[in-house]
Amino acid sequence: MQEKHGMHCFVSGRVQGVWFRASTQDKAKELGITGWAKNLADGRVEVLAFGEKDQLLTLHAWLKVGPELAEVTEVVLEEVPYQEHERFGVK
């Protein structure tokens, strides 16, 4: 079993009102990642995700594109210590 890691991302662009959080949740579940995604007042989406390194790299690459209607301009990533979460939720 691989070591678990965490990543904290802020996604900028047209990422609210385009099913970004729900699509991120679907992708995270598909990859076996736990954590959450939420809208921020400044128009960004914040994502906190936990899983194996390759799973997180795949999610990070997906966040750079997002769902069909999104227009991602930037993804800021910070590695964070692993935290146990039961599932991936939307806040």
Q: Say whether pLDDT at 80 is over 80.
A: yes
In this structure, which CATH number among 1.10.3720.10, 2.60.40.650, 3.40.50.970, 3.30.70.100 belongs to the domain 4-85? 3.30.70.100
pTM attached to this predicted model: 0.96
Q: At what angle do helices 53-63 and 20-31 cross, to 10 degrees?
A: 160
Give yes or no: 39 in active site.
Answer: yes
Give yes or no: 87 in active site.
Answer: no
Mean pLDDT computed over 62-75: 97
Mean pLDDT computed over every residue of the chain: 97
Rounded to whole angstroms, how far apart are CA atoms 68 and 42? 21
19: left (phi over 0), alpha (psi -120 to 50) or beta: left
Q: Say whether pLDDT at 40 is over 70.
A: yes
**Per the residue annotation, which of 14, 39, 44, 87 is the catalytic one?**
39
